[in-house]
Structure 1
Amino acid sequence: MVAGEAVYGAILTPKGRMVTDLTTLWLGAGEGEGLGLDVATSGHAAVLGHFTRFLPPRFARVEDLGDRTGLLTVLGPRAEEVVADAFGTVPEDGYALLGGGPAGGGLLVARWVEQAPSWDIWAPAAATEGVWRRLEASGAVPVGWAVREMLRIEAGLPAFGVDMDDTTIPVEAGLLDRAFDHDKGCYTGQEVIVRIRHRGRVNWHLRAFRFGNAAPETGQQLFEADGTKVKGRVTSVAQSPRFGQAVGLGYVRREIEPPATLRLGSGSGPEVGVEEC
């Protein structure tokens, strides 16, 4: 990694299950040398526990900035224009620290290529309202978390705590090539990942769902037509203007090859389209 670079990855248990996914940002060498970790709220406690157990304090110090930091996301076709007008900089890739970053009372502006065009703005919690006013003055309009979730689901991106948890093998969630560098090692859980990559397979795969007009509840099970054995489950749901129907994410058995059709709730339930993410 180099300063200004952001890398997506995951922390695993020795059995190859997920502690959490995260994005790592290297803050550069010098007095403030360190790594910034963007971790989902649902993975926060597990990450701190993992570091307490495995990271010797004489090698590195962990500082939890979660309660002191606010986050605003700017997305949409005019996102780049709004961010540039509000802060005078738009990272083409990676991130930019302004005024020392959140730990120093400033901002961190990060470009996320997975859900383009999208920028995250971190700021000290007390300054978040002021940051929003700057964005608003530059043309930003509040849309709420539900819109970001809709775009995430449309893009086929799993979220930890929603589509992934501590029982998930990252290969199941489609993270094999997205979250791991196969030329590097060693890392906790690597043996499991390498074995699956070269010789094995997993029983479940993350898939995109098309539900039609009616949005189901998350957690509902999927079946083959007239079948009684569970072949899948729904983990995320949103109404999608892009697809003109309710869409979702979830897992299906490996023998169900997309494109396919399953049934919601029972073998005689409504049809659900199954596609690659």
Structure 2
Amino acid sequence: MKIQSLEGYRAARYYTAWMDRTEQIGLLSVSGPDRFSWLQGMVSNDVRLLEQGAKRLQACILNPTGHVLTDLALVAVANGQLPALHDCILLDMPRENREKIGRLLDRFLITEDVELNDVTPQLACLSLQGPAAAQRIQQLNLGPCVIVEADHTGSGGFDIYVPTEMRDTLLHSLHIPVLDEATVELLRIEAGIPKYGAELDESVIALEANLRQTHISLSKGCYVGQEIMARIESRGHTNRGLTGLVFSPNQIPDIGETLYPVQEPAREVGRITSVAASSPAMDNRPIALAFVRHEFAQPNTLLHAGASRKEAVVVPLPFISTTQGTSE
């Protein structure tokens, strides 16, 4: 996937740009007096942080073997912020997981005083991304909404949840570059952010995808998959991990291609999950995210991809500097 213009890319990296997340996400609301304690046993991060005042919390819902059923963000909504939603927690997840997760959570509702509702049609989510996003939000004339810090690009940003009927009005008031799908994907890959359907699915253990610091609590107590997380942590590492690859110019790999060590060309040690054909952060060379076996994931390791043996070098994630924008 290749971007058509660098305008949106540069705006997101150095100023601010917007993206419309509305069609990509599913939203479930969890309300009722027991919502915090009930969710504490459902998700991989510590929901008490929301109870103590945090506005947004990233987490996963895991199966008993620690594999990812979905990644999600938990967003606190207070009375008066959004019409028809009162003191609830929004579960923001990939839209393809909404029905599956809704059914799963509903099965775990037994005696708790909790109400679970699908509110996807009621809300839109627009996101300002970039180092100047906070200043830009101050200039917007916003009505009922919920604003939370949310970084989808590696450059920082905010998600704005509004009633669906306000979506077009807000879009027309954002006189800044828009990020098309290809640019969003490039920014995500450069930032090393895993995405459901690419790096995340039910074959992936959460700790393999570098989610330890952002999505996983090992100290909060029991939740589905917690025992596996603790066991891996005590062992020190997973057998494989999410890794960055930089390719030679014009050697663009394909998603799904197998990776082989240069010295052991018959040994499969990894698989490519996401590809950007040209990365400004890496001198416009092709880059990729891949799961690579631990012993072959050290920086500067040389690997070959696919039958054509495209040459790649392993680099640390993210590809960008999170403090200075794109790498020099």
TM-score (norm 1): 0.84
Q: Counterparts of 1:234 and 1:67 in 2: how far apart (Å)?
A: 34
Aligned twin of 1:92: none
Q: Counterparts of 1:34 and 1:125 in 2: how far apart (Å)?
A: 18
Aligned twin of 2:209: 173
**1:19 aligned residue (44, 69, 72):** 69
3-state DSSP of counterpart to 1:207: strand
1:263 to 2:304 alignment: yes
How far off its partner does 1:56 sit? 2.9
Runs of at least 5 residues in structure 1 that lack an aligned partner in the other structure: 89-97, 100-106
| Regions of 4+ moved over 4 Å | 28-31
Aligned twin of 1:65: 119
* Contact 1:13-1:188 at 8 Å conserved across structures: yes
What are the superposed Cα offsets for residues 148-178 of structure 1, whole Å, 9 maximum, x if unpaired?
2211111111112221101111011111232
Runs of at least 5 residues in structure 2 that lack an aligned partner in the other structure: 1-49, 318-328
How far off its partner does 1:79 sit? 2.5
1:236 to 2:277 alignment: no
Identical amino acids, percent of aligned pairs = 28
1:38 to 2:92 alignment: yes
Aligned twin of 2:196: 160
Q: Counterparts of 2:248 and 2:123 in 1: how far apart (Å)?
A: 39
Aligned twin of 2:158: 119
Instruction: Rate the CA distance shift 1:110–1:252 in 2: closer, same or farther, 3 A.
Output: same
Structure 1 residues 115-264: aligned runs within 5 Å? 115-136=154-175, 140-199=176-235, 201-214=237-250, 215-225=252-262, 227-238=265-276, 239-244=278-283, 245-259=285-299, 260-264=301-305
Q: Counterparts of 2:234 and 2:179 in 1: how far apart (Å)?
A: 44
* Contact 1:42-1:161 at 8 Å conserved across structures: no
Structure number with the bigger relative contact order (C-alpha 8 A, sep ≥ 6) is: 2
Decide which moves more: 10-19 or 110-119.
Answer: 110-119
Q: Counterparts of 2:151 and 2:126 in 1: how far apart (Å)?
A: 16
RMSD of the TM alignment (CA)? 2.3
Q: Counterparts of 1:34 and 1:121 in 2: how far apart (Å)?
A: 16
Instruction: Rate the CA distance shift 1:32–1:174 in 2: closer, same or farther, 3 A.
Output: same
Instruction: Rate the CA distance shift 1:108–1:235 in 2: closer, same or farther, 3 A.
Output: same
Q: Counterparts of 1:263 and 1:48 in 2: how far apart (Å)?
A: 41
Aligned twin of 2:104: 50
Aligned twin of 1:275: 315
Between the two proteins, the alignment pairs up a number of residues equal to 257
3-state DSSP of counterpart to 2:288: strand
What are the superposed Cα offsets for residues 20-59 of structure 1, whole Å, 9 maximum, x if unpaired?
1111122248992221111122332321121122123752
How far off its partner does 1:230 sit? 1.4
Instruction: Rate the CA distance shift 1:192–1:157 in 2: closer, same or farther, 3 A.
Output: same
Decide which moves more: 164-173 or 217-226.
Answer: 217-226
Q: Counterparts of 1:59 and 1:176 in 2: how far apart (Å)?
A: 31
